[in-house]
Structure formats: structure tokens, C-alpha cells
Structure 1
Amino acid sequence: MPKISVEIPGELLADLDEHVGDDGKFVNRSDAVRASIRKTLDVLDEIDARHDRLTDEVGDDAGGTDGDDAADE
């Protein structure tokens, strides 16, 4: 699984940490971030479907990238 680095404001990270750990919904920060990304992509797909903007996900750019993949590595 590829690894990425992101900068997150302290307030947002503190909010995230309230949901991580033994008493939280997520076992670790990575799990929480992955779940959030999946949820966001699902919502974006629903919006695109309502506006007839969905295309086949095989071989297209349906992943929502902006073409700047090098900045994400």
C-alpha cells in the first residue's frame, strides 16, 4: 500500500484523535483517514451520478485526480 504525507491543521487532528484508539471508532489515524477518503469519494460519485458526469471507471480518470500525482508522493 502506498504511503503519503499530508499536513493537517492541529485543530482538525485533535478532532480526528477523539475518534481514534481503544474508545474510538478507528484503530489508528490511517484507518480514520482511509475511511474518510472512501466516504468522500462515494459522496462525489453520487453527486457526479446526479449530474450525469460518471464514466466507466476502467481506464479513465474517474478517480478524481487533478493530474498532479507527483505532489502526492
Structure 2
Amino acid sequence: MTMDGADRRVDEVAAERDDNRWLLRVAGLPGVFSQVRRLDQAEGMARDAIAAFLDICPDGFDAAVSVSLPPNST
């Protein structure tokens, strides 16, 4: 988790491909994870998981998703 210039919370989310889904893990919040079928669903699902864990509004912070592809995916 970092803070941006306006002191808005920004959580870093790692998306890793696993068979037919994307696994999402939130840096700095052990145990907060989720999964999605399509990468375009990652930010919303991550925000929901983070908000539920921290008991805050999903619109009150940002989630920065970084994608990790398996080495043989090129």
C-alpha cells in the first residue's frame, strides 16, 4: 500500500495467470486475495476484496493491478 500525491490509498495488486483464471494477491494485506476469469475484472474484484477486509468503501482508494505472465506465455 502506498499513498498518492493527494494522500489517497493505493493498494498494489499482483495478477498471475493460473490455467483458466487470474489469481489476485494484494501486497501488504496478507490473506487478501481473489480470482477472476478475465483480466478486465481484476481491479473491481480486488477493490471488493480489499474493501471487505478493511471495512471501507470500495470507492475510497485505488487498486493498481500489475500483471505477471508465465515464462512460456509468449
Q: Larger Cα Rg: Structure 1 or Structure 2?
A: 1
Q: Specify which structure has the higher proportion of strand.
A: 2
- TM above 0.5, yes or no, is no
Q: TM-score by structure 2 length?
A: 0.31
